[in-house]
Chains A and B, each alone.
Chain A
Amino acid sequence: MSNRRLAAGIVLASAGAFLLVVPFGLKPYGIFILSMWAVMTIAAIGLNLTLGYAGQISLAQAAFVGIGAYITAYLTTKGWPFWPTYVFGGISCFAVGWVLGYPALRVQHHYLAFVTLAFNTLVYLIFRNEEWLTGGIYGISNVPRPSVLGLSMNSPLAFYYFCLAHLALVSAATWWLIRSPWGRAFVALRENPIRALSLGVDTRRYTLVAFAIGAGLGGISGALYAPLLQFVDPTPFALGLSLNLLLMVVLGGSGYFFGPFLGAIVAVLLPEWLRFTQGFYLMGYAVLVIVLMAFSPTGLLGLADRLTRPARRRTASAAGGPPETAAESETAR
């Protein structure tokens, strides 16, 4: 077990170092893509809470990213500083998520999937039609980049570290959440909702909270998206992005902490490298997801986990114990 821990620790440390150093070898566009990866990972982490921990399909994550992006774009172009818009965006999306999820999660079936599907479609229409607010199809341009303690984040490099810092912040917060009693309740909710209920876990409330937090994180991702592109229009926030985020989480491994990171690499970086294949790339992505669902529903990290797991099982039963338990290991399972 500690070997696995050590290996994971080394991988993590190397990845961290890599992320800090790599932009120096990249052109501005490369740094931009990396920043995009960081921003999308935040949205994916939010969706992972909803899907991977609470077991609910949300198809509205793009709408929440869009809401966050438009709030920041609208307010900062009107002279507001960045920070309040960021907080406001996160909280608004949390609230919208709560209101949306409340009726949908009172029912047994996967109603949330359909409600979020309709919601995303509606929000996109609002983005496109309400010119007075969102600039319609022309969008909002010249979104300024924020400044931290007087230092402007205008340069691609500076803004990349800004996004990376936020990713680190969100990751730390999510890690803390998962390690808290709530995290235990989420695992119970996902693993065995029936047992969880009988132990007093209010599955409805926890699912709602997970969904609302996921939505809030989508909003935060959007708040970073706006100054990254410095231009916000409706096109990115259509259903396509929601599906993309969903596949990202699933591919990386839903319910695994680092799943979104991995999934976002595949979803953001891969198309850049495979730009020339365009349409085929999307098809390949879809086929990969289908195959994955058939053989390893817990995604790539789930696959890795399964491959390294057998070692763990063997050591546990070999540990033995006092006579009474040794005797009953004979009992058929």
Chain B
Amino acid sequence: MADILQLLVAGLATGGIYALVAVGFTLLWQTSQTINFAQGEFVMLPAFFVLIAMGYFGLPFWAAVAVGGVVSVVVLGLLFKKWMVDPMIRHGVLPLVIATIGLAILMKEMVREFYGADAWPFPALAATTDVAVLGAVFSIQSLLILAICIAVVVALQLFLNGTRTGRCMQATAQNPTVARLLGVRVERMILYTFLINGALVWVASLLITPIYLAKFTNGEWLGLYAFIAAIIGGFNQVRGAIVGGLLLGVVDNFAAAYISSQYRMAIPLMILIVVILFRPQGLLGRVEERTV
């Protein structure tokens, strides 16, 4: 029983991180039809921003973290939108997807070429000690990650539902044409989603890199988990992305413990196929309209 609880909490923790990444991915898709294949690399990079700020600019950890955040939001949010998405979206969804695939390769190779191919340790946000609760041992790390993820998600939901800007963003996601007619500054709302994604991947990076070390290949599997989480939750639903991420994290953790760790990757794929086969709109999604 204690084992299961431990695995559950650890699974929820990593699941929370996947959820953050999946939410960002879903938001981009909802508001601007952007399928960001480089989302995994977007999570891989901020850790390197922080490492560079500490290593080459000699900043203390927390200052570097802040710098990493700013750079993430500006480069992965603003510049990504202005320089890549805007010029390309007029050609349709397909060229943009391919371009983001190219971007993913570019980012990966740039890190490998200019920083190095090794796996670097990354400071955790809290000491890696354990705490015993109800006979089970949990790492402070996992609990903290879970807490931060919950906090971010709650903050995001409050923003989206509670503020005027947030509701405008939701309107833009549901129906940009009508939103425009109602006076919503659609372009600005879309920009906000990109900026929010920049922030989300920054937080995710800070949480996941201490566990898996900073390596240029992190993006490959992180991206895959994010996509699968978004799909099984329901491609067009932010809440779905959260549920998908948590589910994936828990299942993945249990699978690694009880099934061969070599085939860990098989489980998310199986879940994906099953969901697409039997409930293609995802667990929380609405059945999609056929396009006119």
Q: A239-B220, A293-B96 are in contact. Are A122 and B277 (CB under 8 A)?
A: no
Interface residues of A in 213-248 (CB under 8 A from B): 239, 243, 246-247
Which B residues are in CB contact (< 8 Å) with A125? 262-263, 265-266
Q: How many residues of B contact A (CB 8 A)?
A: 45
**Nearest B residue (CB) for A121:** B265
Q: Does B137 contact A (CB under 8 A)?
A: no
Tell me which of B106, B221, B266, B276 contacts A283 (CB under 8 A): B106
Instruction: Tell whether, in the assembled complex, residue B88 and residue A293 are in contact, meaning their CB atoms are under 8 Å apart.
Output: yes
Instruction: Tell whether, in the assembled complex, residue B102 and residue A111 are in contact, meaning their CB atoms are under 8 Å apart.
Output: no
| Among listed B109-117, B127-135, B159-167, B171-179, interface-contacting one | B109-117
Instruction: Tell whether, in the assembled complex, residue B97 and residue A113 are in contact, meaning their CB atoms are under 8 Å apart.
Output: yes
Instruction: Tell whether, in the assembled complex, residue A293 and residue B265 are in contact, meaning their CB atoms are under 8 Å apart.
Output: no
Q: Does A196 contact B (CB under 8 A)?
A: no
Interface residues of A in 276-294 (CB under 8 A from B): 279-280, 282-283, 285-287, 289-290, 293-294
A-B contact count (CB 8 A): 117
Q: A104-B276, A297-B94 are in contact. Are A118 and B224 (CB under 8 A)?
A: yes
Instruction: Tell whether, in the assembled complex, residue A103 and residue B276 are in contact, meaning their CB atoms are under 8 Å apart.
Output: yes
| Per-position binary interface string of chain B over residues 279-292, scored 1 when its CB falls under 8 Å from any chain A CB and 0 otherwise | 01000000010111
**Nearest A residue (CB) for B86:** A294
Min Cβ gap B235→A in Å is 6
Q: Does B145 contact A (CB under 8 A)?
A: no
Q: How far is the CA of A111 from the CA of B230 in the complex (A)?
A: 11
Instruction: Tell whether, in the assembled complex, residue B105 and residue A282 are in contact, meaning their CB atoms are under 8 Å apart.
Output: yes
Q: Does A106 contact B (CB under 8 A)?
A: yes
- Overall SS of chain A's interface: helix
Q: Does B53 contact A (CB under 8 A)?
A: no
Among B97, B101, B224, B277: residue with most chain A CB under 10 A: B101
**Nearest A residue (CB) for B260:** A129
Which B residues are in CB contact (< 8 Å) with A250? 98
Q: Does B268 contact A (CB under 8 A)?
A: yes
Q: A114-B272, A280-B113 are in contact. Are A243 and B105 (CB under 8 A)?
A: yes
Q: How far is the CA of A125 from the CA of B265 in the complex (A)?
A: 8
Q: Does A95 contact B (CB under 8 A)?
A: no
Which A residues are in CB contact (< 8 Å) with B228? 114, 118
Q: Does B186 contact A (CB under 8 A)?
A: no
**Nearest B residue (CB) for A56:** B94
Among B105, B227, B277: residue with most chain A CB under 10 A: B105
Which B residues are in CB contact (< 8 Å) with A108? 288, 290-291
Q: Does A27 contact B (CB under 8 A)?
A: no
Q: Does B183 contact A (CB under 8 A)?
A: no
Q: Does A210 contact B (CB under 8 A)?
A: no
Q: A114-B228, A125-B263 are in contact. Are A286 and B94 (CB under 8 A)?
A: no
Which B residues are in CB contact (< 8 Å) with A118? 224, 228, 265, 268-269, 272
Which A residues are in CB contact (< 8 Å) with B37? 113
Which B residues are in CB contact (< 8 Å) with A293? 88, 91, 95-96, 98-99, 102
- Some 20 contacts from A to B, beta carbons below 8 A apart, are A55-B94, A103-B276, A103-B280, A108-B288, A110-B97, A111-B231, A115-B273, A118-B268, A118-B269, A280-B113, A283-B110, A286-B105, A287-B106, A290-B102, A293-B95, A293-B102, A294-B84, A294-B87, A294-B95, A297-B92
Q: 8 nearest interchain CB pairs?
A: A297-B95, A286-B106, A289-B102, A293-B99, A118-B269, A279-B113, A293-B95, A286-B105
